[in-house]
Amino acid sequence: MGHEAAGDMVAFEVNGGFLSKFTRFWKKGSVPARDGLPLLLGSSFSLEEDESGTVEKVVDVMSVTVSQLLEHLHHVTKHLEFWQRLSKGGESDKLSFMMLERGPWAFFQGISMFIRSSVVGASPGQKLLLGASSRISERVTVLADLRERLAKITGQVYIEVDKMGEKVSIGRNSRVASSECILAVLKALSVLEGVYKFPQRNYYSKGDLSSAVTLALDFDDIPETIGLRMEWTDSDLDHGIKLLSDSLWKLNNFLDTVMWQYRRPRRIVRKWIHYTGGALGLGILSGWLFRHSQLGGSNDLERWTKEGFDAASGFWEEHVQQPLLAIRDDLFDTFRKRHREGNELGDVKLTAESLHRMLQEFVAQTKGSDAAEGSSEQQLVELMMIRYETELSHPLRNLLTGQLARALLIQVQKLKLDIETAMLELNQILRANEINFAVLSAMPALLGAFLIGKLLKRPFIKGQKGAEGRGRKAQLRRRMMIVDVDNAVMTCQMCIDEGQVDAFAEFGTLIYSLDRLYKAARNPATESGEWLSLQKDIIELAKPRLSTYYKMAIAARMERVYECLAPMPRLRVRYSYVLVAQLSCNKGIEEENQD
Cα torsion at 187, 43, 485, 255 (round to 10°)?
-30
Q: Is residue 291 pLDDT above 80, yes or no? A: yes
Tell me, yes or no, whether 538 lies in a domain: yes
486 shares a domain with 456? no
Domain boundary residue, one of 266, 297, 328: 266
543 shares a domain with 507? yes
Banded pLDDT at 138 (limits 50, 70, 90)? confident
> CA 30: distance to chain centroid?
19
Report whether 198 contacts 213 (CB < 8 A).
Answer: yes
504 shares a domain with 561? yes
pLDDT digit string (tens) for 358-393?
A: 877 777 777 776 666 767 777 777 777 877 777 777
> CA 208: distance to chain centroid?
41
Tell me, yes or no, whether 282 lies in a domain: no
Count of structural domains within the chain: 3
Tell me, yes or no, whether 201 lies in a domain: yes
Residue bearing the bigger pLDDT, 15 or 38: 38
Dihedral of alpha carbons 325, 326, 331, 336, sign: positive
534 shares a domain with 435? no
Buried b (16+ CB within 10 A) or exposed e, 470-486: eeeebbeebeebbebbb
Q: Is residue 32 pLDDT above 70, yes or no? A: no
pLDDT digit string (tens) for 149-187?
A: 999 999 999 888 888 888 887 777 888 888 888 888 888
Tell me, yes or no, whether 571 lies in a domain: yes
511 shares a domain with 446? no
144 shares a domain with 74? yes
Tell me, yes or no, whether 518 lies in a domain: yes
Cα torsion at 237, 238, 243, 247 (round to 10°)?
110
> Which segments of 47-172 does DSSP mark as H helices, in order?
54-88, 91-100, 104-120, 124-169
pLDDT at position 343 = 61
CB atoms within 10 A of CB 158: 23
Banded pLDDT at 464 (limits 50, 70, 90)? low
Residue bearing the bigger pLDDT, 137 or 430: 137
Tell me, yes or no, whether 303 lies in a domain: no
Tell me, yes or no, whether 105 lies in a domain: no
407 shares a domain with 260? no
What is the side-by-side order of every strand in the sheet holding 9-10? 9-10, 214-217, 194-197
Domain boundary residue, one of 410, 426, 460: 460
With CA atoms as reference, report the closest residue to 203 among 304, 127, 285, 315: 127
Q: Which of 260-264, 438-442, 471-475, 511-515 has the lowest mean pLDDT?
A: 438-442
pLDDT at position 502 = 64
145 shares a domain with 58? yes
With CA atoms as reference, report the closest residue to 67 among 32, 38, 42, 29: 38
Report whether 192 contacts 149 (CB < 8 A).
Answer: yes
> CA 272: distance to chain centroid?
27
Domain of residue 57 covers: 50-88+140-266
User: How does DSSP classify residue 33?
Assistant: -
pLDDT at position 12 = 32
485 shares a domain with 399? no
What CATH number did the domain enclosing 234 receive? 1.20.140
Buried b (16+ CB within 10 A) or exposed e, 269-300: ebebeeeeeeeeeeeeeeeeeeebeeeeeeee
Percent of the chain with pLDDT over 90: 8
pLDDT digit string (tens) for 485-504?
A: 888 888 888 887 777 656 78
Q: Is residue 569 pLDDT above 60, yes or no? A: no
Q: Please state the pTM of the whole predicted model.
A: 0.68
Tell me, yes or no, whether 122 lies in a domain: no
Residues 6 or more apart whose CB falls under 8 angstroms from that of 421 comprise: 348
Q: Is residue 480 pLDDT above 80, yes or no? A: yes
Q: How far apart are CA 159 and CA 184, in angstroms?
A: 10
215 shares a domain with 189? yes
Domain boundary residue, one of 433, 460, 487: 460
Q: Is residue 402 pLDDT above 60, yes or no? A: yes
Banded pLDDT at 340 (limits 50, 70, 90)? low
HSE (side-chain half, CA atoms, 13 Å) at 595: 6
169 shares a domain with 75? yes
Q: How far apart are CA 441 and CA 321, in angstroms?
A: 10
Phi, psi (rounded to 5 degrees) for 317: -70, -40
Q: Please state the rounded mean pLDDT for residues 521-540.
A: 88
147 shares a domain with 259? yes
pLDDT at position 297 = 79
pLDDT digit string (tens) for 238-250?
A: 888 888 888 889 9
Report whether 160 contacts 544 (CB < 8 A).
Answer: no
